[in-house]
Amino acid sequence: MIIFGSRTSSKVVAMLIFVCATCHHEAAQRLVRRRTWFTLFFAPIFPFGHGSYTVSCAYCGTAYGVTRENADKFIADWDAQQVNAEADRILAAEDAKIQAEQRGTES
């Protein structure tokens, strides 16, 4: 007997902090992707389409649907922030190294 069916999964794919249109608080806004998968013996095999996206506010919990184009922009902004965060981390590490070297030459 072959058991097949479908399962819908939700996954947070990106997160940005901006002012919520509903509660007007600056809060984390999560982009959630919902996809329905074809399952065979309860294991997901392939997804149906590209799924749907919603943005939900961590402060008030309001969730609203967004188009795939807007979801892509959201993800691009998130990626850009990740790059900036990495650059900031490297700069901070280099700065700490220079500070340490300067302290070393003074003593």
Question: Quick one: which segment of 5-13, 17-25, 38-46, 72-80 binds Zn ion (CB under 5 A)?
Answer: 17-25
Q: Is 49 left (phi over 0), alpha (psi -120 to 50) or beta?
A: left
Q: Out of 12, 23, 87, 91, which residue is the one contacting Zn ion (CB under 5 A)?
A: 23
Q: Out of 40, 60, 80, 85, which residue is the one contacting Zn ion (CB under 5 A)?
A: 60
Half-sphere exposure of 96 (CA within 13 A, CB side): 6
The CB-of-3 to Zn ion minimum distance in angstroms stands at 41
> What is the length of the chain?
107
Work out whether 55 is an interface residue with Zn ion (CB under 5 A).
no
User: Which lies closer to Zn ion via its Cβ, residue 17 or residue 92?
Assistant: 17
- Contact (CB, 8 A) for 14 and 56: no
